Amino acid sequence: MSTIVSLPDQATARIPKRNYLTNENGLLSWLLTGDHKRIAVLYLISITFFFFIGGALAGMIRLELLTPQSDLMASDTYNKVFTMHGVIMVFLFLVPSVPATLGNFLIPIMIGAKDLAFPKINLLSWYLYLVGGGMTLTAMITGGVDTGWTFTTPMSTHFSNTNVITTGLAIFVAGFSSIFTGLNFIVTIHRMRAPGMTWFKLPLFCWAHYAASILMVLGTPVLAITLVLVVLERTIGIGVFDPTKGGDPILFQHLFWFYSHPAVYIMILPGMGVISEVISTFSRKRVFGYTAVAFSSVAIAVFGFFVWAHHMFIMGVSNYAVLVFSLLTMLVAVPSAIKIFNWAFTLYKGSITFETPMLYAFGFMGLFTIGGLTGVFLGSSGTDIHLTETYFIVAHFHFVMVGGMLMAFLSGVHFWWPKMTGRMYPEKISQLAAVVTFIGFNFTFFPQFLLGMLGMPRRYAAYPHEFQVLNVFSTAGASILGVGYLLPMIYLIWSLKYGEVAGNNPWQATGLEWQIQSPPLTENFTTIPIVTQDVYDYEWLERQKEHEVTHVG
Amino acid sequence: MGLSPVLWQFLVKWMTNFAIIPPEASRIAPQVDALLVFMTLVSLVGLVLVGLLVTAFSILYRREKHPVAVQIEGSTLLEATWTIIPLGLFLVMFVWGSVLYFRIYTPPPNAMNIYVVGKQWMWKAEHPGGQHEINSLHVPINQPIQITLISQDVFHSFSIPAFRVKREAIPGRYTTVWFEATQVGTYHLFCTQYCGTNHSAMIGEVDVLTPEDYKKWLADSTSGVSLAQNGERLFASLSCNACHNGQPDSRGPSLANVYGSKLTLSTGQPVLVDEAYLRQAILNPSAHITQGYAPIMPTYQGQVSEEGLISLVEYIKNLSTNYRVQQTLNTTALLPEQPDKVPAKGASAQGVAKP
Ligand code: HEM
Ligand SMILES: [Cu+2]
């Protein structure tokens, strides 16, 4: 047998009548659900909503920067716009995106469990997310915040007259959503694996989420405490960050980045998990060096806690601290490099196809490589001095977060769309969307590296005229990118009604999630599976197929 | 620089023309650029390598050409290769970058000091001769300049891209950065740390002048009062001299020669007296009581502006003979003749008279 046979039921296929979507009806059945899959869908909808708000703000930023003067909006307004853009994108989109949607949906299924360990807490974390999001929107509508998403003191504590408290508390609340999700994942992965599902049979997606969950549980409380301190300082003036009261303004930076650096990995690790699954499936191979990839996730998570001060090289931390943090930053870059090469070599002697998730995954590899390499420019303390706080930073983290994370998210959404909805997305137009996104992305953010090299500071509403040409490029690119993001929004909704019926395993993939019906039953498995085959065992899969064909035929 | 100077010149011309790098106008700039070029090349090689691998494999092993995948477990040798080579390269960049970092932030002993105060939303520079300027900074060419920075309100960041230097101005804390300009001209001075409403308007100019022009500028913009003289005046008007009068029975320690020395605190702890210590001792005296003295000094928090503090610190520094010798050596060549008398009127507790 040389080619994969298509499933015999494909032509006459129907979506199974009984599934998690149809199990119960009515709004209340959704709002009170304990089903991890339904909660994932709730998250998907709310996260998409916030992404488009954040995106609209991004559009305003780029339009303002089309010309050197601040002519579209006053600089106060601009400051609020980029602050809200940052807050919404980071805390309400990037952090929860893959874990809360795909992670929630897939982790129990991938390990052969019926649900997460704490379904009610899972629902609670969605409500916390909504409350946090609602508070953020309230803060935005009632005057906005102008501190930047980094809430730097004493700007945020003493010099801003905007809604810092509401926003701080909003993030505090949303933070608990993230802590609970992390806890739920850790306990679930430890305690609820099906018989035979050993740690080294765990899909890399689960490993990545496991590592990210450790970060969520250990890092987020620090952010929460920091924000509470900011609020206390604003309201009753406790003075921990206030130098005139003997406080230390740099302490805030330490606390903030102690969370926010690991947060970068909270955002990117789950994305890496998606990429591992997708590349493996579409090249029909076990991920090259599975163990190395699994452990590099954990290594990134652990070392990720020890590099926060690389955000502070120019802030007067001691020279020797700079030395140590610069070295650790270089070390943490290594596992990322390992992963890129492992993915590339997974393709070697594979049998590769180029469906949309794979195109996004390729996009991820290109953009993440650029983002990662430019991170080394910033990790090396001597060059960081020139590049930090300029558009080089903006370009760098957009390459990592938006180029990396968002590509991974879109890759994952397309990949598991058939499982989640039972229907296929339209292939041709989504391939087009992936390409448009990739082109638009480079067009938007590559010029920003050059702007940064030239010294253009970030968070400027107006800028010297010599920077205009590159800014015009960037704004033009942003409009292409915007189209790239709108397209999936449209055709994915379209596919809910008109998409081809997917069948259980449209990609002929190996994971447990592909062995059950799409969309799955509420309880996922009718009987708890006993896992005997290795993870990514495509040979086993083909033997299964042969078996089925002979039986059905 | 590692590259041949001719090739380097050529590269820089080309990169400047294509607006990839700003002009190289300081001693350190070519060194920073050399590392940037090295990193860019390594990154390009890395990126091309990944790109080639992915493209080549995608073509060679696409489904039509290669219908059945060959399962491969992994390869320790390969994994070791792509762990060790990036690690090695990153370590090179780390060492190279750290050497640069220490160079950028370690001023040479003969640097001339200029104070800069950041405030919403302007840069105020204070030259030792008493010249003040706002959102502009005049410096002589080929002379190491140390900038001592502080912020009066929020974080600001002092950035001159053409010199490849940047340093955060922090409330309540002195930080320093130095540079040596190598090309006459006017360059951007940005605030790069987001600091509120008019952050993007907090732009100044650095004017690099020839020594002659600089002398002329100093003479034209001198206020007649040097920082130290202004400090002396404040010292009197704030009644600091009531206690710190150098008499054996005075209530406060003598401040002559105190700068740069090691004091013993009442806790028995030794401290090095530097600018930051002096500033703190004025604002928050009870935090460090010198051995042998009672904790009676009042705080001057809220009574002296940052500029006033700078003048006081400069005055106390000048009471130190070593320091005076050093400053004189450094700056007399450049400074115009200074009037020796302290003007009697115009002393104000709120810092410095404007030019
Ligand atoms: C069309 C897409 C986008 C464009 C054109 C865009 C543009 C920008 C620009 C110009 C800034 C810099 C603001 C400044 O420093 O003055 C910025 C900041 C930022 N963007 Fe985006 N962005 C886009 C999408 C995204 C997405 C999708 C995310 C996250 C998923 C994101 C996350 C951020 C963050 C975290 C900041 C930092 C905000 C800050 O500096 O306070 N952006 N964006
Ligand atoms: Cu500023």
* Inter-chain CB proximity A369 and B35 less than 8 Å: no
Is a pLDDT exceeding 80 seen at residue A546?
no
Which pLDDT band, with edges at 50, 70 and 90, does B265 fall under? confident
Report the residue of A383, A442, A454 to disrupt the B interface, i.e. the one with the largest count of B CBs within 10 Å.
A383
Mutate to test the pocket of ligand 1, among A87, A88, A89, A136 (most ligand atoms within 8 A of CB): A89
Is a pLDDT exceeding 70 seen at residue B152?
yes
Is a pLDDT exceeding 80 seen at residue B13?
no
Report how far ligand 1's centroid is from the alpha carbon of A85 (Å).
6
The predicted structure's pLDDT at residue B118? 94
Is a pLDDT exceeding 80 seen at residue B61?
yes
Is a pLDDT exceeding 60 seen at residue A120?
yes
The predicted structure's pLDDT at residue A52? 95
* pLDDT mean over B113-136: 91
On average, the pLDDT of chain B sits at 84
Residue-wise pLDDT tens digits, A396-420: 999 999 999 999 999 999 999 999 9
* pLDDT mean over A182-205: 94
SS3 of chain B: helix, strand, coil, percent, to 5: 40, 20, 40
User: Could you tell me which residue, A54 or A160, shows the higher pLDDT?
Assistant: A54
Q: What does the alpha-carbon distance between residue B352 and residue B309 come to, in Å, rounded to a whole number?
A: 10
* Inter-chain CB proximity A349 and B69 less than 8 Å: yes
For the entire predicted model, the pTM comes to 0.89
The predicted structure's pLDDT at residue A8? 45
Report how far ligand 1's centroid is from the alpha carbon of A370 (Å).
17
Q: What does the alpha-carbon distance between residue A393 and residue A375 come to, in Å, rounded to a whole number?
A: 9
The predicted structure's pLDDT at residue B351? 37
Q: Does B74 touch chain A (CB under 8 A)?
A: yes
Is a pLDDT exceeding 60 seen at residue A195?
yes
* pLDDT mean over B133-152: 94
* Inter-chain CB proximity B102 and A342 less than 8 Å: no
* pLDDT mean over A325-335: 91
User: Which ranges of B149-221 would DSSP assign to H, the alpha helix?
Assistant: 211-221
Residue-wise pLDDT tens digits, A240-264: 998 888 888 899 999 999 999 988 8
DSSP reduced 3-state for A2: coil
Which pLDDT band, with edges at 50, 70 and 90, does B345 fall under? very low
Using an 8 Å Cβ cutoff, are A33 and A123 in contact?
yes
Give bridge partners of residue B112 from the DSSP assignment: B145
Burial of B267 (0-12, 13-18, 19+ CB in 10 A): exposed
Report the residue of A380, A458, A472 to disrupt the B interface, i.e. the one with the largest count of B CBs within 10 Å.
A380
Using an 8 Å Cβ cutoff, are B279 and B313 in contact?
yes
User: Which residue is closest to A281 within chain B, CA to CA?
Assistant: B69
A324-338, B7-21, B180-194 — most confident range: B180-194
What residue type is A381 in one-letter code?
S
User: Could you tell me which residue, B289 or A34, shows the higher pLDDT?
Assistant: A34
Least confident of A288-292, A450-454, A506-510, B12-16: B12-16
On average, the pLDDT of chain A sits at 91
* pLDDT mean over A30-34: 93
Is a pLDDT exceeding 90 seen at residue A129?
yes
Q: Which ligand is nearest to the CA of A460?
A: 1
User: Which residue is closest to B67 within chain A, CA to CA?
Assistant: A351
Residue located via tokens 């909808």: A45
Residue with CA nearest ligand 1 atom 38:
A86
Q: What does the alpha-carbon distance between residue A84 and residue A170 come to, in Å, rounded to a whole number?
A: 12
DSSP reduced 3-state for B122: strand
Which pLDDT band, with edges at 50, 70 and 90, does B249 fall under? confident
* pLDDT mean over A280-293: 91
The predicted structure's pLDDT at residue B343? 40
Helix (H) or strand (E) holding A58: helix A36-64
Q: What does the alpha-carbon distance between residue B322 and residue B308 come to, in Å, rounded to a whole number?
A: 23
Which pLDDT band, with edges at 50, 70 and 90, does B341 fall under? very low
Radius of gyration of chain A (CA): 23
* pLDDT mean over B269-292: 84
Report how far ligand 2's centroid is from the alpha carbon of A289 (Å).
48
The predicted structure's pLDDT at residue A2? 36
* pLDDT mean over A199-221: 93
A330-334, A442-446, B132-136 — most confident range: A442-446
Q: What does the alpha-carbon distance between residue B305 and residue B238 come to, in Å, rounded to a whole number?
A: 12
Is a pLDDT exceeding 90 seen at residue B320?
no
Residue-wise pLDDT tens digits, B193-236: 999 999 999 999 999 999 999 999 988 887 777 888 888 888 88
Token reading at B111: 């640097």
The predicted structure's pLDDT at residue A484? 95
The size of the A-B interface in CB pairs under 8 A is 285
The predicted structure's pLDDT at residue B302? 81
Report how far ligand 1's centroid is from the alpha carbon of A55 (Å).
9
Give bridge partners of residue B190 from the DSSP assignment: B159
The neighbour count for residue A79, using CB atoms within 10 Å, is 26
User: Could you tell me which residue, B209 or A549, shows the higher pLDDT?
Assistant: B209
The predicted structure's pLDDT at residue A547? 67
Is a pLDDT exceeding 90 seen at residue B66?
no
Is a pLDDT exceeding 50 seen at residue B329?
no
Closest CA to A260 of A90, A398, A409, A433: A90
Is a pLDDT exceeding 50 seen at residue B25?
yes
Q: What does the alpha-carbon distance between residue A431 and residue A495 come to, in Å, rounded to a whole number?
A: 15
Helices (H) and strands (E) in chain A, counts: 18, 0
* pLDDT mean over A145-160: 90
> Would you say the ipTM is above 0.85?
yes
* pLDDT mean over A298-325: 90
Using an 8 Å Cβ cutoff, are B355 and B221 in contact?
yes
Mutate to test the pocket of ligand 1, among A49, A402, A437, A449 (most ligand atoms within 8 A of CB): A402
Token reading at A352: 């590769």
* pLDDT mean over B96-117: 92
The predicted structure's pLDDT at residue B327? 52
Residues of chain B contacting A337 with CB distance shorter than 8 Å: 82-83, 86
Which pLDDT band, with edges at 50, 70 and 90, does B290 fall under? confident
